[in-house]
């Protein structure tokens, strides 16, 4: 049976969002137990590219969360070791024709009003930013606030930065919640025994819906599968995160069907990462050669130099999708003591610090850093029918 002093809270999930919740809670003076059925970053975080983006978000709550996180990641980069590979390298969104460029221009105009920095780049200047881009492209937008980080190491070092206020229980599956006489949280059950705490944070990523059901509430998190191709180590042939304009539409889509759009970026370690694909197929990890073919074709269309480069491996992960494309963050009024921090889809790495700060402020009675209402977990609950 597990034993030890009662923590102030339990965080279920040792990915980057759970790590950020633990870090900011510990920094606020709370003691935290982080539980995961696998290793640190064993789920979605470990299969991510590490995108810290504002460029793909339209004005609204998610962009506000992303802008807050952008500043917090800059602060964290001063604290965390260089191994996390934080790179404020900026992003470049490419339009292949004039119609696409006009759409990007309109999109950026709204973003600027919300606080995003975006510079239009003419066709003649694209190669100043990315010398290996294909010829004949119409132009693009440069977003200097975009950045990248190595997500698995970022999560690990955030947990370490929590110091002795954070303890890890890895390889422990949560099988249920412990509640009191009034339904309030008292801790969690695991296969090794109970773990007590007055608060539980659901940071289970794509499995967040399953954890919510253990608590007796509905949170419609669904897995959205994606693949990434990884090249052999190269000189820096891709300087920014570069993606085709249709990536923005794919991110905002609710379709369950396969969608692919060209996303290419270099890394500090040398390999080029190539995405992006989205499809809802449950937790099926089967390799799809059709998806990989599409990813490679899209990357070569943007960067012909990649045609002769070897791909060393591919990996797959599951983005935690919610129907309105906003994460669930904060207390669940249906179960006192239960909080959620999941459903970030493909933006979890970028949105993790702001999510952790929102959760920590709620737990300590602090002022929310932004309006938390758009992210309230109970927003998906079906209204009860009026009695006849």
The pLDDT averaged over each successive group of 10 residues in the chain (388 residues) is 69 98 98 98 93 96 98 97 96 95 96 98 96 97 97 98 98 97 96 96 98 96 95 94 82 75 91 92 93 95 96 94 96 98 96 98 97 97 59
Q: Is the dihedral of CA 30, 33, 35, 40 positive or negative?
A: positive
State the DSSP H helix or E strand holding residue 208, giving kind and residue range, or none if neither.
Answer: helix 208-214
For 362, phi then psi, to 5°, come to: -65, -45
pLDDT the model gives residue 3: 41
pLDDT in tens, 53-82: 999 999 999 999 999 999 999 999 999 999
pLDDT in tens, 23-52: 999 999 999 999 999 999 999 999 988 999
Instruction: State the average pLDDT for the chain.
Output: 94
pLDDT the model gives residue 85: 95
Q: Which CATH superfamily is domain 222-320 in?
A: D-Amino Acid Oxidase, subunit A, domain 2 (3.30.9.10)
CATH topology of domain 9-47+152-221+324-380: FAD/NAD(P)-binding domain (3.50.50)
Which residues fall within 8 angstroms of residue 287, CB to CB, at 6 or more apart?
Answer: 314, 316
pLDDT the model gives residue 384: 54
SS3 45: helix
Dihedral (C-alpha) 27, 33, 39, 40: value to the nearest 10 degrees? -10
- Please, are residues 358 and 368 in contact by the beta-carbon 8 Å criterion? yes
Q: What residue spans define the domains of the chain?
A: 9-47+152-221+324-380, 97-141, 222-320
pLDDT the model gives residue 248: 74
CA distance 47 to 220: 22
pTM score > 0.85 for this model?
yes
């Amino acid at each position: 049976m597990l034993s030890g002093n009662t923590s102030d809270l339990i965080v279920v999930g040792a990915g980057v969002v759970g790590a950020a919740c633990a870090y900011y809670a510990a920094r606020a003076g709370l003691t935290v137990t982080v539980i995961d059925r696998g290793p640190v970053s064993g789920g979605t975080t470990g299969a991510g590219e590490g995108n810290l983006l504002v460029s793909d978000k339209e004005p609204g709550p998610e962009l506000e969360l992303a802008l807050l996180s952008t500043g917090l990641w800059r602060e964290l980069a001063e604290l965390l070791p260089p191994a996390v590979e934080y790179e404020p390298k900026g992003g470049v969104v490419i339009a292949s024709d004039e119609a696409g460029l006009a759409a990007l221009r309109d999109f950026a105009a709204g973003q600027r009003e919300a606080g995003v920095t975006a510079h239009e780049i003419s066709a003649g200047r694209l190669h100043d930013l990315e010398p290996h881009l294909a010829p004949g492209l119409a132009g693009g937008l440069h977003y200097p606030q975009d950045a990248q980080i190595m997500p698995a190491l970022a999560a690990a070092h955030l947990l370490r930065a929590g110091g002795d206020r954070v303890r890890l229980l890895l390889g422990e599956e949560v099988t249920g919640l412990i509640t009191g006489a009034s339904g309030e949280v008292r801790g969690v059950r695991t296969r090794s025994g109970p773990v007590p705490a007055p608060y539980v944070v659901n940071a289970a990523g794509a499995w967040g819906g399953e954890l919510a059901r253990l608590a007796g509430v509905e949170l419609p998190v669904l897995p959205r599968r994606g693949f990434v191709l990884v090249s052999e180590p190269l000189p820096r042939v891709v300087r920014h995160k570069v993606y085709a304009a249709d990536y923005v539409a794919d991110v905002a889509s609710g379709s369950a069907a396969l969608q692919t759009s060209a996303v290419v970026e270099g890394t500090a370690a040398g390999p080029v990462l190539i995405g992006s694909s989205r499809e809802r197929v449950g937790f099926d990890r089967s390799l799809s050669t059709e998806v990989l073919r599409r990813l490679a074709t899209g990357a070569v269309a943007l960067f012909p130099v990649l045609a002769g480069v070897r791909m060393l491996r591919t990996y797959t992960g599951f983005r935690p999708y919610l129907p309105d494309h906003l994460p669930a963050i904060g207390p669940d009024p249906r179960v006192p003591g239960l909080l959620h921090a999941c459903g970030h889809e493909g933006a979890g790495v970028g949105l993790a610090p702001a999510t952790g700060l929102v959760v920590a402020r709620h737990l300590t009675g602090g002022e929310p850093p932004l309006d938390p209402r758009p992210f309230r977990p109970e927003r998906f609950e079906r209204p009860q029918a009026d009695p006849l």
